[in-house]
Chain A
């Protein structure tokens, strides 16, 4: 009795956070049933996550940009352009991968900082500044690929980023051992950190959820991690893309929820004037957020180029809009100060699941666009309504 009531109030209070997960679950379940389980097959889930990677990392950066009440339209072609530069460095200049990647990431940071400079220092609206950036990088991408057309990359190490999997050590019963170990470690880490947080709270005599709910949550989340691990281990295990994506999420989640910098970002987003009067350097935060966005655009460019094993003249087209859509599905608000990094990833996976599922069902591209548009509106509508209800 108490257990169910407590669970019910928890869901009610956190409907906005849980809504996304529930939506993802419903989408996955529906497609699984409609495709006789093909959707949840190891191979499909693995492909789905790999094809989400380059949008998901953009969505993480975009969420923070939108949280501080800005937008970045330049990231798509910036990713395309930086991907092409990576290809040129690898093929024409013959630089090794371990030099190319840091160089590209640093270039990305500079591009982001330049956007930040225009926006923070010269007060150019971010929409305009980054729209200009979008045009410039589109031109720059065409320029560097003009003579050669598509640049094919033959570097195996680089191509592995978008196509390869972590080594398995050995295969046990057809399952990828290292992935299983990683999955197990994440479950243990998750349980450990939850228990230590709870202990700490009890030490400070704060309210905690009852033991029943707590155990249920531990088992539930662990089961999901275990299930995903099991699915992926049944194919080729964790891909490098998934590993990179997870690292980005964990790092940004930590940054936004646990650090002073993260709190300052949300403060600037919820009231820039008040933030300034609280001694927060609003310009510095703007530089940092756009710098991080630039770095993630570079990472997105690397992931995409590596996945195609080549740099093309149209790479990066509409990435920025996919990333913005993912961020909004993930619960970010354009009014500023609201939005989570984990939401952005879920948003990206929701959008990718829709594409993947509809592809499996043979739904035409025209319908796919319309359905994805509908889901975007529905997600934001849900957000607006639940926010109003909670006042």
Chain B
């Protein structure tokens, strides 16, 4: 542990008057794994963009010292040449190209002016071995799981002689197995002398892997915690992140009032013609009024497919079995039928298929139920603004006005808009798919609070989540899925991490 490989000194950066970073100090020792933590909007991404040259030298104040010399990056390729590579949460791979093409894209192995494909493939094999990925370099990237794609990204970074590897929430989209693999790999790379910076919201990971952890809040460095002296603990991190102690991340509900069965599935199966296989098989499932039902399982276990098959079947699966809403058998031809029956679905991919990013908050909130503010098909805009304002307030959406474009909001606020849009429909049953993915602790707490409030008002919630802590902390009952089947149902008193994982990996 000799000296620092990277020192960012007194970095400040403003956007049209708003200070995103003020006098941030961030020091990374050579050969360590350093975690960067903070709520959304704390300035982590901005800091990494300054480091990688996305914001060129001169647009920020302060110094970047890398391996002892001050760096002046004008573009991303400058930082890459120096040995700093960032892997973003949204992977930058070409799905229709092969693994070896992806690894060497922009960094082609040449003989003269032509690409030497044989050597490329040979080199790619070496890189894949280093990251422990056992696939043929000729596989198309789109045929790999997200976890393996992530490894391809790392292989790509290694091919560029990386000295400092920066990972932006690398495990956000991974299941527990893949996450563990990835963390192990980071340990391996550390032995090979590669320094890593990891941005993460998952505190357990941080605790298990970090040599040091720096916490940012409101664009300022709050502290740097040292792993060797045992300073990195959940309590310490949360306290520094939010600037207050959170007694319990999962707020308690005062009392449960469980009522009649809202939704019931019997022998429910779904066949996808696109994938030419069953995505769901023989599912028995029910939700009662006033309860939160958690659905745990690994990625690809069929949880989202289950939600979609119930919510008007937008993927056109061939469905079999029985679906009952309040005891009456139903067939939904379109999502609008499901909505009419009182079901709402908050998607896991809020940017992809949840929100209208170029539209404002108001239009997003009212999108699924415009008729509530319209008379004979004509919108009463004043009424619309009034209603949307109420939701903005009750969802704690932080924005300067209702006219703000949703694409410019932080992840947590986008999720609240998404939630608000569905509450505006007034559903009886709310299906939340990964409700807190990629959002910070503060916003998480607010969303849990909203969920509890909805339950106390008599709504029912199905919560699909990959975070076991969340499943255990929020649910009244837990279902576990694997390979399109319901593997088990656990009352919350009996559920724990071990038995859930055991069912999920059966």
Residues of A participating in the B interface, judged by any CB pair closer than 8 Å: 200-201, 203-204, 206, 258-261, 263-264, 266-267, 270-271, 273-281, 335, 337-338, 391
Contact = CB atoms under 8 A, between A and B. Distances in A.
Given A267-B356, A271-B356, A337-B358, A278 B368 contact: yes
B357 interface: yes
Given A201-B382, A278-B367, A259 B354 contact: no
A292 B386 CA distance: 33
A260 B347 contact: no
Contacts of B381: 258
A23 B254 CA distance: 63
A274 B354 contact: yes
A276 B377 CA distance: 19
19 contacts: A204-B382, A259-B374, A259-B377, A259-B379, A260-B379, A263-B379, A264-B370, A267-B367, A271-B356, A274-B354, A275-B356, A276-B353, A277-B311, A279-B312, A279-B335, A279-B336, A279-B368, A335-B358, A338-B358
Given A201-B382, A279-B339, A280-B336, A273 B352 contact: yes
B194 to A, nearest CB: 35
B341 to A, nearest CB: 11
B336 A337 contact: no
Interface in B346-382: 347, 352-359, 363, 367-368, 370-371, 374, 377-379, 381-382
Contact of A337 (B338, B353, B359, B385): B359
B193 interface: no
Contacts of B334: 279, 281
A277 B352 CA distance: 11
Nearest to B418: A274
Chain B interface size range: 20 to 34
Contacts of A275: 356, 367
B408 interface: yes
B359 A277 contact: no
Nearest to B359: A270
B314 to A, nearest CB: 5
Given A259-B377, A278-B368, A204 B386 contact: yes
A273 B352 CA distance: 8
A391 B359 contact: no
Interface in B117-135: none
Contacts of A261: 377
A204 B385 CA distance: 9
B336 A277 contact: no
Contacts of B368: 278-279
B479 interface: no
Contacts of B353: 271, 273-274, 276-277
A281 B367 CA distance: 13
B358 A278 contact: no
A52 B357 CA distance: 35
Contacts of B371: 260
Given A260-B370, A278-B421, A206 B382 contact: yes
Contacts of A281: 334, 336
B345 interface: yes
Contacts of A278: 335, 367-368, 421
B244 to A, nearest CB: 32
A266 B359 contact: yes
Best-buried of B312, B339, B356, B382 by chain A (most CB within 10 Å): B356
A200 B370 CA distance: 20
Nearest to A391: B408
Interface string B310-345: 011010000000000000000000111011000001
Given A258-B378, A264-B370, A280-B336, A206 B385 contact: yes
B307 to A, nearest CB: 11
A361 B338 CA distance: 63
A387 to B, nearest CB: 10
B356 to A, nearest CB: 4
A204 B382 CA distance: 7
B253 to A, nearest CB: 28
A260 B377 contact: yes
A267 B406 CA distance: 13
Interface in B88-144: none
Given A204-B385, A270-B356, 20 more contacts: A200-B382, A201-B382, A204-B382, A204-B386, A260-B370, A263-B367, A264-B370, A267-B363, A267-B367, A271-B355, A271-B356, A273-B353, A276-B314, A277-B345, A277-B354, A278-B421, A279-B338, A280-B336, A281-B336, A391-B408
Contacts of A264: 370
A277 B367 CA distance: 10
B68 to A, nearest CB: 37
Contacts of B314: 276-277
Nearest to B422: A278
A125 B359 CA distance: 25
B358 A258 contact: no
Contacts of A266: 359, 363
